[in-house]
A and B are shown apart, each in its own frame.
Chain A
Amino acid sequence: MDLLLQLFVNGVINGSHYALLGIGFGLIFATTRIVHFAYGPIFTFAAYIAWWLSGAMGLPIWLGLLGAVAAAVTIGLLSYLALYRPLELNRAPPLVPLIASLGLYIVLENLTGVIFGSGVRVVDVDYGIFFVGPVFFTSIHVWQVGSFVILGLGLAAFLRYSRYGKAILAMTDDPDMARVIGIDTFRITLLVFAIGSLVSAVPATLILVKNGASTHMGFAAVFMGFVAVIVGGVGSLRGAAAGGFVVGLVESLGLWKIPTEWQASIAFIVLYLVIMLKPEGLFSMARR
């Protein structure tokens, strides 16, 4: 029972991480229909910038986070402007941006390796360790859950109440109609690339503190984000967040019966089942 409780808490912690990635990736995907695989290496790059500022230069970690956010937003915007935008203007069929994003993916991933070198990079940050009854967690875990709550609620409020937030919802619903009512969809696209990239930098910095940064970690980041979006149902950020928690919990609780080395496969099996049995996602609202 104690084990199960611990696994549940671990699941919530990892679920928050996946949910954040799902929200960030999903915001870009739902609004622009671009499968932005380079979201993964941008996540990695942000973590390395945080390491460079906090680990190598010795600045406080919050400055590292700030640097990570700035880097992620810059590269996110550049990838749209330099790659996806020209493809859109060429009227490329929908899968072309996806293939191009795979190209950008390996460029950014290996560029990070060339700049920062391979091998794991860690920062030395003191953090607290807590026991609540039999359950163990650290202050970084608290931050992982907390950052999801703060960013999730903040984003929800932004979408719900601000003018630009509503424009994003409108474009997610129907991009053509968004243009009809006079929304500048180019600006909205830049906005979602900026927000989505910003969101990625936060879990990136926390993962750096928790496990250290390695050049290949971007793949898991973007893929789990994508999985969260599909499990939750494309087009709904609440769905993406819920999808992230489902994956986190199933993955963690699965350890109760499944050997550790298979943990990484659990999420993919969930994905396979969802796509085969309920391709519209578990939490999609019946809209049409």
Chain B
Amino acid sequence: MEYLLHVGVMLCLYAILAASFNLLIGFAGLFALSQAAFYALGAYAAAIVTTQLGLPFPLPLIIAVVFTALMSALIALPALRVSGHYLVVISIAMQIIVLQVILNWKSLTGGTDGISGVPAYDLFGLKLDTPELFLPAAAIGALACLWFAFRLTRSPFGRALRAMRENEAAAQAVGKNVLYMKVTVFAISAGMAAVAGVLFARYFTYVGVDSFTIDETIYILAMVILGGAGNLWGSVVGAALLVIAPELLKFLPLPVDIADKMRLIAYGVVLMGVLLFRPQGLMPEPRGRKAMFVPVDAEREESDAETLFKGDKGTKGETVMEGRNLRKQFGGITAVDDFSIELKRGVITGLLGPNGAGKTTAFNLLTGFLRPTSGEIVLRGSPIGNAKPHELVGKGVARSFQDLRLFTRMTVIENVIVALPDQTGDRVLPLFLRPGKVKAEERANAARAMEILRFVELEAKAHDTAEDLSYAEEKLLVVARLLATGAEVLLFDEPMSGLDRNTLQEVFPVIRRLAENGKTICIIEHNLDVIKELCDVVWFLDEGHAMATGTPDELMNDPELAQRYFK
């Protein structure tokens, strides 16, 4: 019986670890393999402050969690610069360095001996020093962590995390602060792992480095992958299966040493088997309607989405945004050279020019995705300086991408909701401190998003997954997502290419109406027909600078340009 209770305690610890790891790799898409190091830091911090300082509950827990969360910045920092394989290798290196420091800092950590004599929890004189007595404490810890993780993932912040996972640049382009999200999710994931570490120290009353090796990280990884990345229940199930199943090995008459190795072999086989035969895990990330955590009925409510379609009330024809003598060099290649452009309120400006003329680079400069080598960009009279893309979205400048960059594994309506401005739940503190406000906003945003989808006639597909849309529908969703930002200056990178004539006739009035409402619009376009029908002013780019500017008719009748481009 006591043995079963012990398994129960272990299950609680690993449920916390797997859920915390899933936040990082499944939801945020940050593949950093150092979870066991966070686990170790939490355990050691608790062991040190209890044995050496004798601090009472809950101080060791708080100190351990805060300390580990701060230490996670060591790995979050590289994650801001690199991703993919680089992040994997550097996070493994960090895990090893953490263990080395623990091993070598003998005065504090006891080196290879570890720290024993960690006091068990003391509940009014009752020592929680048996599995039976400890299990409730572990369960409370696990439930608290899981509640926190669920609350976090089923919130605007969680939605933004998944958007970042799907496409980082697009998440920035809808106004998300990627730096904040990465640092925060690392801190939270590390803090949760530290909770498991503290429980470990209190339960075993001993900590030693052997419990926190890279094998341990792989073990937790196997739980997440088996259960399903991006599904928290999956992590609980994965933890349960991988904690309980190997215990059965104990009933086989194997020497302890061999049994331990067989257990590790089993984890490896499970990991490979899942990836080969069921890569989405036992409980895949929810799709479609199941992925929605805002009540669907909220989508039918009245909304004020119309305000998002309105621009500033200022004078029509007034210059809102201006690029002055912009120049951008990549190595020896000058992509944009002495390029100046003015975007005016209520005016649809077209950027025309052959492939490689520098149109997209110009967009990247105007929206903060690239910094100009020289020249400046002025928004409503003041230079934007080094504003980052998401800051510019906040100031009312948003763009779309030629290659769409939808959040492909999210629903259509979520693609729109995530782009809506000023979401209180985008930040973690208000999310937990003002749940009522967040909830009300979520309902309102669902309704606004639905209205935007009705506007582009995608409402019937609202709960489809974005990757299942047709090409034309994807293009419409790009427009919807851009509208949702509510930005005043809208820069469309080839919004029309690939749409048939009938769809075009539906999109034209939408864009014209936006301009009439006072939005400032700029469009990159190849299709002369579109330019002619839609644009008020056209800038013709070639080899990085503006060759000519004027109304579409003026440009198309320019003999030199006609020779060069139109015919």
Contacts and interface: CB of A to CB of B under 8 A. Distances in A.
Given A113-B261, A275-B78, A103 B88 contact: no
Interface string B269-290: 1111001100100000000000
A265 B84 contact: no
B275 A111 contact: no
B261 A103 contact: no
Contact of B90 (A103, A118, A272): A272
Interface residues of A, number: 41
B188 interface: no
B275 A87 contact: yes
Interface in B49-86: 77-78, 81-82, 84-86
A271 interface: yes
Given A106-B264, A107-B265, A261 B104 contact: yes
B82 A279 contact: yes
Interface in A234-288: 261-262, 264-265, 268-269, 271-272, 275-276, 279, 286
B271 A271 contact: no
A268 B276 contact: no
Contact of B89 (A83, A86, A271): A271
B258 interface: yes
Q: Name B's interface SS.
A: helix
B186 to A, nearest CB: 16
B100 interface: yes
A226 B92 CA distance: 11
B86 A111 contact: no
Given A114-B265, A268-B93, A99 B82 contact: no
A261 B104 CA distance: 7
B218 A279 contact: no
A61 B2 CA distance: 53
A262 B267 CA distance: 31
B89 A230 contact: yes
A106 B96 contact: no
Contacts of A264: 96, 100
A92 B92 contact: no
B214 interface: yes
Interface string A73-109: 0000000000100110010101110111011111101
B106 to A, nearest CB: 9
B529 interface: no
Contacts of B96: 223, 264-265, 268
A168 interface: no
B225 interface: yes
Given A94-B84, A103-B275, A271 B265 contact: no
B466 interface: no
A276 B81 contact: yes
Interface string B368-402: 00000000000000000000000000000000000
Given A262-B100, A271-B90, 14 more contacts: A87-B276, A92-B275, A95-B85, A102-B33, A105-B268, A106-B267, A107-B269, A114-B265, A223-B93, A230-B86, A272-B94, A276-B78, A276-B81, A279-B86
21 contacts: A95-B31, A100-B271, A103-B222, A103-B271, A106-B265, A107-B268, A107-B269, A114-B262, A114-B265, A219-B214, A223-B89, A223-B92, A227-B93, A262-B104, A265-B96, A268-B94, A269-B97, A271-B90, A272-B90, A272-B93, A275-B81
Interface of A: 35, 83, 86-87, 90, 92, 94-96, 98-100, 102-107, 109-111, 113-114, 118, 219, 223, 226-227, 230, 261-262, 264-265, 268-269, 271-272, 275-276, 279, 286
Q: Which 5 A-B pairs rank lowest in CB-CB distance, beginning with the nearest? A: A103-B271, A107-B268, A268-B93, A110-B261, A103-B272
